Amino acid sequence: MAAVGPRLKGLRTQRGLSLTALAHATGISLSTLSRLESGQRRPTLELLLPLARELRVDIGELIGAPQTGDPRLHLQPVTRHGMTMLPLTRRAGSLQAYKLIISPRTRSPEPEQSSHEGYEWLYVLDGRLRLVLGDNDLVMGPGEAAEFDTRIPHWFGNADDDPVEILSLLGHQGERAHLRARTVRKKDTETDSE
């Protein structure tokens, strides 16, 4: 139970929530949350239930329960501002994966760019995605991917009146999602051509 505080703080900061925002969302006082995170307050089920619900994790993750050996994820989708997010990762780590479905009716068609620490990779599964990245305004279709530093002001949403479905990988600490390829040295190519 002593590890609940650091896990709670890690999940909260990973999701970009302040103590005040989490206190407001859960109805738990700011001082109680602060004492929970610092280990000065013993966690109770009454406190853990709303925290797990708001942080979109299983209580077992908050208390560090051993895994059952079943690798399947049983995560719940969350809908906010016309976007349904299905987390595809459950560990409190730096790299998070999501499947997003963006409804054209409830998302603002006018881009309101924002920026934050991190790095993001987007892959369009279905529909057409509009990505505004700095001064670039792009439309992407199924099978197309984009990768960018999230410190650059950005916005994404529907390119037309149909829903768009995408995969998103987000590294909050600035990690890049990339493929590694073996570089071909000049000496290797000269030997192959002889």
Residue 72 carries which side chain, given as an amino acid letter?
R
Residues whose CB is less than 8 angstroms from the CB of residue 95 and which lie 6 or more positions away in sequence, other chains included: 89, 169, 170, 171, 175, 177
The arrangement of strands across the sheet holding 154-158 comes to: 136-140, 129-133, 154-158
Q: Among residues 102, 109, 67, which one has the least CA distance to residue 86?
A: 102
Residue 134 pLDDT greater than 70, yes or no: yes
The b-or-e profile of 115-132 (16+ CB within 10 A means b, else e) is eeebbbbbbbeebbbbbb
What value does the mean pLDDT of the chain take? 79
- Distances in Å between the Cα of 27 and the Cα atoms of 15, 33, 44, 48, 49 are 18, 10, 15, 12, 12
Q: Of the ranges 76-80, 155-159, 174-178, which one carries the lowest mean pLDDT score?
A: 174-178
- Specify the 3-state DSSP secondary structure of 17: coil
Residue 119 pLDDT greater than 50, yes or no: yes
Residue 167 pLDDT greater than 90, yes or no: yes
Residue 187 or 172, more confident: 172
pLDDT for the residue numbered 175: 43
Residue 56 or 102, more confident: 102
Residue 97 or 79, more confident: 97
Residue 104 carries which side chain, given as an amino acid letter?
P
pLDDT for the residue numbered 117: 82
pLDDT for the residue numbered 90: 67
Q: What would the pLDDT profile of 51-77 be if each residue is shown by its tens digit?
A: 888 888 877 777 776 666 665 666 677
- Distances in Å between the Cα of 91 and the Cα atoms of 56, 61, 75 are 11, 8, 11
Q: Are 170 and 98 spatial neighbours (Cβ–Cβ below 8 Å)?
A: yes
Residue 105 or 19, more confident: 19
Q: Judging by beta carbons within 10 Å of its beta carbon (0-12, 13-18, 19+), is residue 57 exposed, middle or buried?
A: buried
pLDDT for the residue numbered 65: 64
The residues pairing with 102 across neighbouring beta strands, listed in sequence order, are 83, 164
Q: What would the pLDDT profile of 15-51 be if each residue is shown by its tens digit?
A: 888 999 999 988 999 999 999 988 888 888 888 888 8
Rounded Cα distance between 158 and 167, Å, is 14
* pLDDT band at residue 6 under the 50/70/90 scheme: confident
Residue 153 pLDDT greater than 80, yes or no: yes
Mean pLDDT of 112-126: 89
Q: Are 156 and 129 spatial neighbours (Cβ–Cβ below 8 Å)?
A: yes
